[in-house]
Structure 1
């Protein structure tokens, strides 16, 4: 299958409604993954309204990241109330989950709702805060682990659908999520479906072909509610393509930290106290700032990119440096096995979304504080097994003679 976009005879709204109606008809259980952002808000509106017409019940999953705008929390509560008649279960999850903190090399990961910490805000009374609520939950598991396990738990060995509001236009990786022909689909004519890891639930992407303009046109024409935070972002001069509502400290998300300082100074003060590097991130992580190497990276002229990468590693806290050395060693060894004993210093397109190997790409990972090394095609760390994995890779580095000089 070639990776091209093919126009449909329907408009995106009609196509999405048809997909959602098919989902409600063919799956006994449907859960909408809701973040409070514009994409998932449109998806929840459409799904709940069609479920109401069909006299069907749906479930909703909302991950509360603790450090979130008041507008977002209020919007989530309003949406829950507006569709209370069709929502069977509203899973408001306020459990400790681990994610990246791309603001600090001393605390490269952080845990929302961490036990014993002084939280940015308190969870609502109806939120799920007991670790025993889900039998699959493990303390500090990553968001990715949680949502994969949740889909299997939600299915309970029966067919179930989890609707996810991603759009192919947002990024190359999201386009591939839809266009990847190697993923198992519900049917050949349902390219917007893919099987979840457990094999019983299906991930559905009913609004995958919408553009940003389609979303705002729909809100304007229907008058349906959306997160008022977008209005504040617009007033603050944030371009629509950069408006994101999600956990705030990742490599992409940190660019909006300065908004907390502008919109909710009290909450921003709590975030600075709670999360290492938050204050500097609010100053240096803006769209046009190259401090974290987000869009453009520079190096000393006297050094090659490989030399600069080694210099960056030597300048880091020891534990963080060892983590990166392990990841980079695995990355380099993989390319050695592919017949590339030395990756080039630079290549065309090597700091884009596609993984094109080079030392410049490795430097971008280090400057970007991409602790999980997603740009090198790694998945998030699994806290339960990380120590054993780290020790094993350190031994492998010596065996491979890759980045072992500091040991």
Structure 2
């Protein structure tokens, strides 16, 4: 185990101390268990604490079952719940919430365990599970992310707890967004100022005890203590997938597109069912790691500009899908004309070399020393920060990726999505 950058102890001891702190200050503790390597290690650490220090304590184990996943993941989750039967609260949820998919121009989301499509289910329901009938707060428009967040409040109220903590196996090493979740200095949203916690609702917090672990630490812990883990990782290793690229996630999200074809080799029976379950899966498995869907260097027809190509792509989309992209384009154009996005001096130099006119504004309220740049959409710009620059090529790549949310263009959730989330929180705040 490597030594924590902020502590003089290794990350294993640091995690154990954080978990002990959670158990000392929260009467209701739930582990979010995805079936991946990180959540598996965190669950084992939590069980270790209970067995050593509070054997009478009963924790919850929350698993959102996505129906369509590798058989090895299902086997691992099944075996874990079987081993812990009677010792933990089984919170395995099989609910038809909206889950994003980037495999199709026609389908922006799908629903696991959708009753109307039972004949297409990838597998049968597990013997014990919680269904939509157990959660009165579920709505037809609720996403998987919203369900997971709302679940914590539901369980807090159901148990009558004074304080509830959801332990999450998030590691800052894995992405910038995860790093920001941990290092935010807004202590008003932390429990007693602990940087590895985040307030979700009143008296309901998320905690990330292994946030400073490296992926190597995860595997050292599994080897050292002989903990069971998802055998899918062994298959990934045999397939040549790099250690830092091994992910157990929904096969239809953007991050999984490039490796979707592995299903055919690793889990052919499940693969055959995936093809008919969600639109566009077979195409994405064939072309998901190619320029055809914007994953590698994208080319346009020689007689077209990138603007021409982007407009051509929009004209080929279903009307509703195209309108979603057009709305995001209009929002982006307005933003870059009136407010501007913050760019580094190096990126501004790239704009100058490309002969692109832009205006630089003064300091902003953003937590950065970068200055805002106002400009019109450019056709293409060679830059290491290409994704941060408003170009028609970036729009074309976004369309090719079926990135309906516009993440490649830097879009966060829309105001409507955020407003709906705020309404849900406010509705249940006093319950």
Deviations 1:74-115 (A, max 9, x none): 11121122233531x221111102122211101222111122
CA contact (8 A) 2:67 2:112 kept: yes
Name 1:73's counterpart in structure 2.
74
- 1:186 paired residue among 188, 191, 198: 191
- How much has 1:307 moved relative to structure 2? 3.3
Name 2:314's counterpart in structure 1.
313
Q: Secondary structure at the match of 1:252?
A: helix
Name 1:235's counterpart in structure 2.
238
Q: Secondary structure at the match of 1:244?
A: coil
- How much has 1:358 moved relative to structure 2? 3.6
Matches of residues 204-215 of structure 1 in structure 2 within 5 Å?
Answer: 204-215=207-218
Distance 2:145 2:293 in 1: 24
Distance 2:45 2:148 in 1: 22
Structure 2 unmatched ranges of 5 or more = 341-373, 422-431
Cα distance, 1:14–1:302 mapped onto 2, change above 3 Å: farther
Distance 1:208 1:25 in 2: 20
Name 2:407's counterpart in structure 1.
374
Deviations 1:32-84 (A, max 9, x none): 11110001000101011112222222111111111111211111121122233
Task: Decide which moves more: 23-32 or 50-59.
Answer: 50-59
- How much has 1:240 moved relative to structure 2? 1.5
Cα distance, 1:208–1:345 mapped onto 2, change above 3 Å: farther
- How much has 1:333 moved relative to structure 2? 2.4
Q: Compute the RMSD of aligned alpha carbons.
A: 2.4
Cα distance, 1:140–1:247 mapped onto 2, change above 3 Å: farther
Q: Report which of the two has the higher share of helix.
A: 2
TM-score when normalising by structure 1: 0.85
Distance 1:114 1:7 in 2: 46
Q: Does 1:175 align with 2:179?
A: yes
- How much has 1:158 moved relative to structure 2? 3.6
CA contact (8 A) 1:305 1:345 kept: yes
Task: Decide which moves more: 217-226 or 47-56.
Answer: 47-56
- How much has 1:259 moved relative to structure 2? 2.1
TM-score when normalising by structure 2: 0.81
Cα distance, 1:351–1:83 mapped onto 2, change above 3 Å: farther
- How much has 1:371 moved relative to structure 2? 1.2
Q: Does 1:31 align with 2:30?
A: yes
Cα distance, 1:68–1:315 mapped onto 2, change above 3 Å: same
Cα distance, 1:126–1:309 mapped onto 2, change above 3 Å: same
Distance 1:325 1:77 in 2: 44
Distance 1:158 1:374 in 2: 38
- How much has 1:383 moved relative to structure 2? 12
Distance 1:67 1:284 in 2: 20
Q: Compare CA radii of gyration and give the structure with the larger one.
A: 2
CA contact (8 A) 2:105 2:317 kept: yes
Aligned length: 374
CA contact (8 A) 1:351 1:360 kept: no
Name 1:50's counterpart in structure 2.
49
Name 1:142's counterpart in structure 2.
143
Name 2:109's counterpart in structure 1.
109
Distance 1:302 1:27 in 2: 64
Q: Secondary structure at the match of 1:253?
A: helix
Name 1:359's counterpart in structure 2.
392
Task: Decide which moves more: 374-383 or 238-247.
Answer: 374-383
